[in-house]
Structure 1
Amino acid sequence: MRNLFTLLAITFLTSIFSQQNVVDDFEGDGTISTWFGDDCGLNTNFSNPFKTGINTSNTVLKYIDKGGQYANVRFDVPVNFDLSTNHTFSVKIYVPSSSITGSEKNQISLKLQDGKISAPWSTQSEIIKTIVLNQWQTITFDFANDTYINLNETSAKPIDRKDFNRVLIQINDENNNSNVTAYIDDFLYDGTLNDNNNDNSGPDPVFNHLVWSDEFDGNGNLNTENWFKQIIPIINGQSWANGEIQHYTDRIDNSYVSNGTLKILAKKETYSKNGVTKNYTSARLNSKFAFTYGKIEIKAKMPFGAGTFPALWMLGQNITETGGYWAENFGTTGWPDCGEVDIIEHWGENQNFVQSALHNRSSFGGTVNKGGQVIQNASSEFHVYSLEWNANKMIFSVDNIVHYTYNPENKNIENWPYDAPQYLLFNVAILPNIASNFTESAMEIDYVRVYQEATASVFDIDNLTDVRVYPNPVNDKLTIKMPNLEGVSNVNLYNITGKKLYTFNQNSATQTHDFSFLKKGVYLLKIETKSKSKFIKIVKN
């Protein structure tokens, strides 16, 4: 019975991890974490202004189109939709007539796209429905039975396609400059995302081992063992990317530690370097630590001022960038092939909006690989900006609220240069639209911490005797025999690189465990009692 329970538990957990609903009630119970406004304002935590009819819920999504030519809101899902069986989306919507300018037809369209390519719109399939103003209504989009429009007329029927992973909602058409405000609630897809056939569907690694950090204690200059101040402009020794108009300096005036935080101070001042005079100064820091995979946490407060452009980000250690800390000894690859990861960016003119983005050969500059969220008091309060980066995906969040996941289905050199070391960069840039009354403002960082997965160590004591495992190699069932077992033994399963995959208990002297879920390969078992442990190599057929 115990073995049956183990098998059922594994089956149940596998089912839970491999299937996901796509739903959002905007009350904090949804599964959609990547809402994004494309030339359109949105607030996913807006108090319902019209608690009438079919919708008296407290919180809704507010959609604010202030004349964006192609304004829409959208979200991405980590696994492509399979519309062959379940093919209907539904949403509640309320559009007040007082919010509308222009003469466009009152309608809502739902568009499906492949958001993992550089031109997602080229894959689009769309259903358009008429709406009634000034009342809540439920609109359904059935891609099997409703009239749909494929942007590419040669595309297959939506129910025969497997490339959709992005959902867009657009109110009152596109290619216009009219205003419209809408309130959206209870988004639902009638199926689930099924990842059973995805090789990456196993449990994500747990990054809980602190490997590098800076708490920015003390006062004065930075810890030079951790940081390098990059000052040579990367474009012909004269200027920086993005149209930035500042000099980055290595002076303590622009980057220093005080009262327990790092300050990167952007200032309005005349400053000359290498024969070039500019009217603003700031700092750009490179970490002297590079790593592959992990969780990065940065507690920071953004600067004030329209035209300020702070960023907490990463570049490939292999970048050939002028004046960068790693370039001389590791530089082999240009941008964007080295891979750029913007953990967070902030624009002073959009005070409480923060965004994450990725730049690589598949999309760079005005990249499509991005997502963000509105937070409260970005420049007056500290927030924790996080990235979880593993071999399969990157997950970006603020204060534990996820706003973007990057997970290309078919990873290649074009879209995934992220299997090599990256290093951290912190900077505050000044853009040409800087406010005329700007004098100075700082980005403050309380701490930066990098966690990685704890792995099996060769220094673990291997002193547990009289343990047998059989058969080895194993097909589906592995028996562990521990004649001298007292109490419960903890068993950890690692892959050959030391990554922990699974933990279970040995509750009796002889117990058979189900290993059918494992792929073929070589693994390590670490069997532990209160005071002893033993490693045993097993082979899975």
Structure 2
Amino acid sequence: MHKLNLLLGLLFFVPLLGFSQTVEDDFEGNGTITNWTGDDCGMDNAFANPFQQGINPSSTVLQYQDGGGQYANIRFDINGTFDLAAKPSFALKIYVPSSSITGNQPNQVSLKLQDGDLAEPWSTQSEVIKPIVLDQWQEVIFNFASDPHQNLNEGSPHPVTRSDFNRVVLQVNGENNNDLVTAYIDDFIYGVDTGEGSIYNQLVWADEFDGNGPVDPTKWHHQTQLPNGFSWYNNELQHYTNRLDNSYVEDGFLHIVAKRENFTDQGHTKAYTSARLNSKFAFTYGRVEARAKLPFGLGTWPAIWMLGKNVTEPGGYWANTHGTTGWPACGEIDIMEHWGYNQNFVQSALHTPSSSGATQNYGGTLAEDVSNTFHVYALEWTPEEMRFSIDGAVYYTYAPSSLNSATWPFDADQYLLLNVAIQGEVAAGFTQSPMVLDYIRVYQEGTSTTSSTEELEQIEVFPNPVEGPLNITIPATLVGAQVKVYAANGQVLLQQFRQDTTSLTLDWSAYPAGAYVLVFELGGEQVTRKVMKM
């Protein structure tokens, strides 16, 4: 089990060297990319957006038409080269209509980095492939520091160590096929923020779910009252209970368990039970992080979400003392929702008066094995926008152009909810399945947690990238520091230890390739260094 402390909200220090030019294109005439080229496909980078909806109301986009070209792609070159050690991420929005697709290729978009000065620029390329969802706009982030990547030449070094990439190639639904696909692309940007360096770096509330037994009654309220007297909203099929059968802490994890069983409560018998928890903590603006595994089974509907503290919903923890406003005027923030009929798809959404409460402001993404694998689901809530991410990659941003009570009922306290509902058709063999949480944390704005630039520059970590031994030297002022090592997903790889000398060697040979962060803490001050494993 991996427990983090206040350090997770750190500002990560990465030296900003090399290429710093802005590389972006909104296809409205405001971009810096002027040499888009289509290979073996049709391309129009001033195409009227046929799907002005969701996260992309933009009027103009790039149209990508693979008419059967075996190696269809679009690309552009830059002056200079990308410095992936400083800025490893690229982002874009994409919409692929299902009606445009033939064949059975995987629904995906890949970003390839190449050296355009070579006679065969693909020969040393590095590629990140991301799954996409059809028939909706979504933001896709390609992080060459932490995402799995493919080097065409196995002898090529890790992409963040290279200084020869000057070309970006985008390809939809793969190559070596003659199938058709049309895609619409917008808001391409290099150097996108993936959530590191948040101003919300002070931990203000958390539940680490340590120990065994019932949930902490000082932090959570079981909401069990049927709000309309006979059922829950959305045609849900369950009773929520306060029994240990449906919610409990075991070995440091919270389990919220949906079960098939006849259960009578409040004069009504239902065929399923589960639990719904309200936090006894509410806040305005900040960062929420929850590390969770999701239930299996057609009919399950787990959620990590928030409601305005002023909501009048019967049975809620805050309703009797603060309930003044109905839904959706109170505002609803769905940090993570998942449905058993769409196993590896997760979604975030906002419900406001401007949408009459309907699910109009939303974004989703495909993730790997969400029911067997822990992922970190996060919300960054500022006075102007909401950013939703999974494992540090932002996939949806809500930022209405006009902030008012109809579009933005999010300038007052909200509280957290955790639940697993049962809805619609349920798998015939379903008996029970849990949502399991390792932790949930709330960060708000605090004082800067990094030391001065001069002190940061005195920390030496080498070689970087590393394959085996990693050498660390620190200034004398940091001797006695407590040190932890984190993987990119927040997992603690080394429990805290004390560095009692100015030099130290750690063995990195057993760690998989990817990005890592070393955190040094001394006297309330914290400094960090980023390390790449080959």
Q: Which TM-score bucket, shorter chain as reference?
A: 0.5 to 0.7
Answer whether contact 1:110 1:167 (CA < 8 A) is retained: no
Alignment of 1:51-62 (within 5 A): none
The equivalent position to 2:72 in structure 1, one of 137, 145, 152, is 137
Q: SS of the residue aligned with 1:243? A: coil
Q: SS of the residue aligned with 1:427? A: strand
- After superposition, the Cα gap between the structure-2 partners of 1:167 and 1:384, relative to the gap in structure 1 and judged at 3 Å, is closer
- After superposition, the Cα gap between the structure-2 partners of 1:170 and 1:225, relative to the gap in structure 1 and judged at 3 Å, is closer
TM-score (norm 1): 0.55
- After superposition, the Cα gap between the structure-2 partners of 1:285 and 1:93, relative to the gap in structure 1 and judged at 3 Å, is farther
Aligned to 2:8: none
Matching residue's letter, 1:226: K
Q: Which moved more, 1:292-301 or 1:365-374?
A: 365-374
Answer whether contact 2:27 2:45 (CA < 8 A) is retained: no
Aligned to 1:306: 298
Q: How far is the alpha carbon of 1:94 from its aligned partner? A: 7.5
Alignment of 1:341-380 (within 5 A): 341-363=333-355, 366-380=358-372
Aligned to 2:222: 229
Answer whether contact 2:379 2:388 (CA < 8 A) is retained: yes
Q: How far is the alpha carbon of 1:279 from its aligned partner? A: 0.3
Aligned to 2:443: 451
The equivalent position to 1:251 in structure 2, one of 218, 243, 248, is 243
Answer whether contact 1:91 1:184 (CA < 8 A) is retained: no
Aligned to 1:83: 29
Answer whether contact 1:229 1:250 (CA < 8 A) is retained: yes
Q: How far is the alpha carbon of 1:137 from its aligned partner? A: 3.5
Q: How far is the alpha carbon of 1:289 from its aligned partner? A: 0.1
Tell me the distance in 1 between the aligned counterparts of 2:74 and 2:260.
53
Q: SS of the residue aligned with 1:362? A: helix
Alignment of 1:279-318 (within 5 A): 279-318=271-310
Tell me the distance in 1 between the aligned counterparts of 2:360 and 2:263.
36
Q: SS of the residue aligned with 1:296? A: strand
Q: Which has the higher relative contact order, 1 or 2, with Cα contacts under 8 A spaced 6 or more apart?
A: 2
Tell me the distance in 2 between the aligned counterparts of 1:136 and 1:173.
21
Identity of aligned residues (%): 47
The equivalent position to 2:379 in structure 1, one of 356, 363, 387, is 387
Q: How far is the alpha carbon of 1:116 from its aligned partner? A: 9.0
Larger radius of gyration: 1
Answer whether contact 2:93 2:187 (CA < 8 A) is retained: no
- After superposition, the Cα gap between the structure-2 partners of 1:393 and 1:437, relative to the gap in structure 1 and judged at 3 Å, is same
Tell me the distance in 2 between the aligned counterparts of 1:189 and 1:205.
25
Tell me the distance in 2 between the aligned counterparts of 1:226 and 1:348.
29
Answer whether contact 1:238 1:276 (CA < 8 A) is retained: yes
Structure 1, unmatched stretches of 5+, are 1-12, 24-79, 96-105, 142-165, 194-202, 457-529, 531-541
Tell me the distance in 2 between the aligned counterparts of 1:85 and 1:109.
11
Alignment of 1:326-345 (within 5 A): 326-345=318-337
Matching residue's letter, 2:406: E
Deviations 1:207-242 (A, max 9, x none): 1111111111111111111000001122x2211222
Aligned to 1:219: 212
Tell me the distance in 2 between the aligned counterparts of 1:245 and 1:108.
49
Q: Which moved more, 1:355-364 or 1:301-310?
A: 355-364
Structure 2, unmatched stretches of 5+, are 1-15, 77-91, 111-168, 171-184, 191-195, 449-522, 524-534
Q: Which moved more, 1:393-402 or 1:281-290?
A: 393-402
TM-score (norm 2): 0.56
Aligned to 1:319: 311
Deviations 1:477-497 (A, max 9, x none): xxxxxxxxxxxxxxxxxxxxx
Alignment of 1:493-508 (within 5 A): none
Instruction: Give RMSD over aligned pairs.
Output: 4.0
* Corresponding residue pairs, total: 343
Tell me the distance in 1 between the aligned counterparts of 2:427 and 2:338.
16
Q: SS of the residue aligned with 1:313? A: strand
Q: SS of the residue aligned with 1:425? A: strand
